[in-house]
Each structure stands twice: as C-alpha cells, then as structure tokens.
Amino acid sequence: MLRTLYDRVLILAAHRRAGLWLALVSFFESSIFPVPPDAMLVPMCLARPERAWRYAAICTVASVFGGMVGYLIGFYLFEAVAQPILAAYGHAEALASFRAWFDRWGAAVILIKGLTPIPYKIVTIAAGAAAFDPWVFLITSALTRAARFFLLALLLRRFGTPVRAFVERRLTLLTSVMAAAILCGFVVLKLI
C-alpha cells in the first residue's frame, strides 16, 4: 500500500499543478501523511532546476504550517487523534522518549530530528503533546525544514541527475552530518 501511495506521489510530481500538490504533500506529511515531500521535490527539481529554490520554499512553508497542525494535534487531541497516528506508524512508545529529550535538550531535538529521515510528524505531534514552547517550536521548525529542503534543492540544482542516486542512497548520512554539526553548535554554546 505504501509503495502504491509513493508511486502516486511521483505521478503528481509531473502534474501541471505539481507546485500545489507539492505544498499539499509537504503540509500533510508534517502531521498525518506517510510519504515525505522529497518524493516530489527530487523529480521536480531535476525536471526544472531553475525552479529548485521555489520548490524548496514551497516545501518549507507548507511543512512548517503542517507542523503547526501536528503540534496542535499533539497538544489538544493527543489521546483521540495523535496516539492512534503514532501507533499506526509503529511509534506509540516514541512520545515518552521525545518528552525526555525535550526536557533535556529543548530546541535541539526539533533541529536535529527535523533534518533526519525520522518522520517529522512524530516530532510535531510529540512537541505538542509535551507542551513544548510553541514559538521555539515554530522557529526551530522553520530553520530545520528550510535547511533540509534547500540543501536538497542545492544538491539537485548543482549536480543534477547523478546526485539523485547519491542522495537517495546517502540521505541519512547527509542529514546526520548536518544534525551532528547543529548538535556540536549547541554543545559549544552551552559550554560558553
């Protein structure tokens, strides 16, 4: 079922209203949808490299607004809506871990998790359920999502088709290196 959904998202990437579909996928992926917007962003950037920045901006803005919906789901509707969503993705126990991480690391959790392949909806819902500061959540979400989508757009625009295979094979490595750099920055700031 997930593969069929993924294939349909790829078909939408070629649609004449692909920008709108990209926004919708990015929005809903941040709270309920299982397929990441990368499935559309990659082929769209490869087909129209001159629009890569526009597509990254669409992903960023829509993802942040969708993240706000995920936050509200976690904050107001955790037991009725959020818990079943997390359970459906096999992450029912993730909330306890996220709460402990939010208590200890705060904004660093959102910055790091927003860059990694961990489903962003888990971060948004958990942040709301943990009653994390909504303004810090909004700012860190905007930073991390912009970094992720604009980095991908930059790589696709700069290197084109050859980078697609590299990114698909090593996306976890790329985002992990970026997340480690952010974490190191936080550690240095705490030491100062």
pLDDT tens string 2-20: 456 556 666 766 677 888 8
Reported as a single tens digit per residue, the pLDDT across 85-127 is 767 767 667 666 666 777 777 777 777 776 665 678 878 888 8
User: Measuring CA to CA, which residue among 170, 166, 156 is closest to residue 40?
Assistant: 156
Per-residue pLDDT band for 58 (boundaries 50, 70, 90) equals very high
Report which of residues 137 and 104 the model is more confident about. 137
pTM given for the model: 0.73
**Cα separation, 15 vs 173, whole angstroms:** 31
Q: Per-residue confidence at 189, pLDDT binned at 50, 70, 90?
A: very low
Euclidean distance between the first and final Cα of the chain, in Å? 50
